[in-house]
Structure formats: C-alpha cells, structure tokens
C-alpha cells in the first residue's frame, strides 16, 4: 500500500476552460483520461497506479489505471500574435474578440502553430464515485512534493499514506464493474473499518476500566459508543479509531447533537496509528495509541465541517 503511486488527475470541461489557446482532451470521466507529451509527469504515470479524478473544482471519484495507449499526433496551438502565449481569452461583447492573458495584447485572430506530440489515453478501471468527496485543496495537500495546494499540474503525484488517511471518513460507492470494491485500497473496506473500530473500542474500554469505571458497549443502539459509570458519575464515550494520526474525525449528526446536549458527561477518545493486517482472509487490527482523550469533551462548533461532520482536534 505505502509504495503504490497515486495521482490527482485534472479534467477541465470546455465550458470552464478559460484559455482558448489549446483544445480540451475530451476525457470521459471514470472511463478514460487523455494527456500528451507536453504534460508534466506524462512519463511517470503507469498501469496499476491509483488515481483521484478531479472535474474542474470538484473531486468526483477514484479508480485505477487499467491500460495506457499512445500514438503520434500533431497538436494545434492558437497563440497571441505579440508574445506567442497560448493563454488567450475570447471576449463575446468587446472588440477585438481576443485578449492575451499574459501580455494583455488585444487582437482579432490568433496565430496558429503546430507541434508533433505523443498522445496518451489512460483507461480508468474500478471507478468509484465519492458520496462526500473532500475538497480539492485537501487532496492537493496530499502532494508527494512541490507546491501542494498551489500546484497547477494536471497530473499531480500524491502521497499514498496521506491520501488514505484523508479518505478514511469518505463514503466510497462500489463500482458495478469493479473487481476490487470499496475504493481499491485507497479508502477502507467495511471489513477494515470494522477491525479498526473493534480495536479502538478495546483500547478505550481498557483505558476507562483501568481507572475503575464500569463500561458497557452501546455502539449498536446509542449515538455514543460506550457508557461508563463510577459511583455517581457517568460518561458517554465517543470512540474513534484510525490508521493515521487522528488529526480529524468523522461525526454523524446524532453524535454531534448528543455531545452538545451533554457537554459535562460526553467524552472523546481517539485511537490512532492502528495497524491493519490480513490473516487468512480476515482483517486483523492491532496496536494503536490514545492520541486524544477529552473528558469531558466541550465540542467546539467552529471546528466542525459539514461533510457529515469533520471535527478537527
């Protein structure tokens, strides 16, 4: 998992393409992605790599590169007559109809140039849409190197560990044609999530029992995971487990409302750095550390992001 290559692939719709100097690539979201030898990282993307697909300013889904085909082609460019930039803007009302985005030169017609290129088409397989996708900036912040959020690359290399941590709380819809469901290893499968949840619950229970509390599992029926009692005191405990660092967690509306209604009795315990292993076709979770323990937990509304709810610790 940690050694796999991950990419953020940018598709731009013609309607949102500002520059008119270069034609679009006519991508088919979730099916094929087109690029050429002028695009940075065109030689690095490979069959089997995992991809996050971005359409304009929206993350739409994830998948895998199933195959890559290529052929020689000629690419046409429309350029500014003054500075030769392809960053030209078409104006509907003003005259002349074109203006250069680089040097501001106004002109009636762009000049045409052509260049020999290698055109590539990556077939996208096992495509899964994201029901509650992260923001583009959050995905770009997972960049392997370089400018990260400020990057303008169409093919941006991502850090696999950072990406997986980001997608832990994202609902990944299975593709009907996917041979490897639930995010193809980028997100967590339901079996992986369950193993992590059970390990986190175990550590949380042991933490309270070691301090003399009587603990009962309420996760199947209540908007909190554990209830603990000691003498006349009571604690409603929200437990979150993660393979990452635990800097943010996903909360449901019920969890938020119960925490806000019981500010003096509600607690949060986050178990991070849980290790997942597959043993005889079964996922096993081990390890983990208590990275956050708030008792009580005064939930701060300003730290909530309405994805479902993401609470920043």
pLDDT in tens, 200-258: 999 999 999 999 999 999 999 999 999 999 999 999 999 998 877 777 788 888 899 99
Q: Which residues does 188 contact at the CB level (< 8 Å), separation at least 6?
A: 164, 167, 168, 182, 196, 243
Q: How far apart are CA 212 and CA 185, in angstroms?
A: 40
CA neighbor of 248 nearest in space, from 290, 299, 309, 297: 309
Three-state DSSP class for residue 312: strand
Residue 21 has pLDDT above 50, yes or no: no
Q: How far apart are CA 87 and CA 16, in angstroms?
A: 14
What mean pLDDT is predicted for residues 253-271? Answer: 93
Number of helical H runs and strand E runs in the chain: 4, 17
pLDDT in tens, 32-41: 999 999 999 9
Q: Where are the domains of the chain?
A: 6-68+121-167, 190-312
DSSP 226-278: EEEEETTEEEEEEEEE-SS--SEEE--HHHHHHHHH-TTTEEEEEEEEEEEEE
**CA-CA-CA-CA torsion for 196, 132, 309, 208, nearest 10 degrees?**
0
- In CATH terms, 6-68+121-167 corresponds, of 3.40.50, 3.30.70, 1.20.1070, 3.10.590, to 3.10.590
pLDDT in tens, 158-183: 988 778 777 765 655 444 444 443 33
By CB neighbour count within 10 A (0-12 exposed, 13-18 middle, 19+ buried), where does 193 fall?
middle
Residue 2 has pLDDT above 50, yes or no: no
Is residue 85 within 8 A of residue 79, CB to CB? The reply is yes
Q: In terms of pLDDT, which residue wins out, 310 or 193?
A: 193
pLDDT in tens, 106-164: 999 999 988 899 999 999 988 888 877 888 988 888 888 877 788 889 999 998 877 87
CATH class of 190-312: alpha beta
Q: In terms of pLDDT, which residue wins out, 237 or 3?
A: 237
pLDDT in tens, 57-96: 899 999 999 999 999 999 888 889 999 988 888 888 899 9
Amino acid 132: pLDDT: 74
Is residue 106 within 8 A of residue 83, CB to CB? The reply is no
| Tokens, residue 24 | 């679009």
Residue 1: pLDDT band (50, 70, 90) is: very low
Rama region for 284: left / alpha / beta (φ>0; ψ in -120 to 50; rest)? beta
pTM of the model: 0.58
What mean pLDDT is predicted for residues 269-284? Answer: 87
């Amino acid at each position: 998992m940690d050694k796999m290559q991950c990419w953020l692939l940018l598709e731009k719709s013609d309607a949102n393409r500002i520059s008119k100097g270069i034609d679009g690539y006519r991508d088919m979201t979730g099916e094929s992605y087109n690029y050429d030898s002028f695009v940075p990282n065109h030689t690095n993307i490979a069959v089997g790599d995992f991809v996050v697909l971005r359409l304009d300013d929206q993350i739409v889904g994830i998948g895998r590169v199933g195959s890559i085909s290529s052929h020689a082609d000629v690419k046409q460019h429309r350029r500014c007559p003054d500075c030769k930039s392809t960053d030209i803007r078409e104006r509907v009302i003003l005259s002349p109809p074109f203006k250069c985005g680089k040097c501001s030169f106004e002109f009636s017609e762009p000049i045409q140039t052509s260049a020999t290129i290698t055109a590539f088409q990556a077939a996208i397989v096992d495509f899964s849409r994201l029901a509650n996708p992260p923001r583009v900036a959050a995905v770009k912040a997972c960049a392997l190197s370089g400018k990260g959020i400020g990057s303008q690359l169409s093919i941006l290399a991502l850090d696999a560990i950072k990406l997986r941590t980001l997608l832990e709380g994202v609902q990944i819809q299975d593709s009907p044609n996917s041979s490897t469901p639930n995010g193809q290893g980028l997100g967590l499968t339901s079996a992986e999530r369950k193993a992590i949840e059970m390990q986190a619950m175990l550590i949380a229970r042991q933490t309270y029992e070691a301090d003399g509390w009587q603990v009962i599992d309420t996760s199947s029926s209540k908007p909190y995971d554990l209830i603990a009692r000691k003498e006349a005191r009571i604690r409603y405990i929200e437990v979150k487990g993660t393979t990452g660092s635990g800097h943010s967690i996903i909360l449901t509306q019920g969890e938020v409302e119960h925490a806000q209604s019981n500010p003096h009795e509600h607690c949060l315990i986050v178990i991070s750095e849980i290790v997942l292993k597959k043993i005889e076709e079964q996922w096993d979770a081990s390890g983990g550390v208590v990275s956050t323990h708030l008792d009580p937990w005064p939930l701060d509304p300003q730290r909530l992001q309405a994805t479902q709810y993401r609470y920043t610790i």
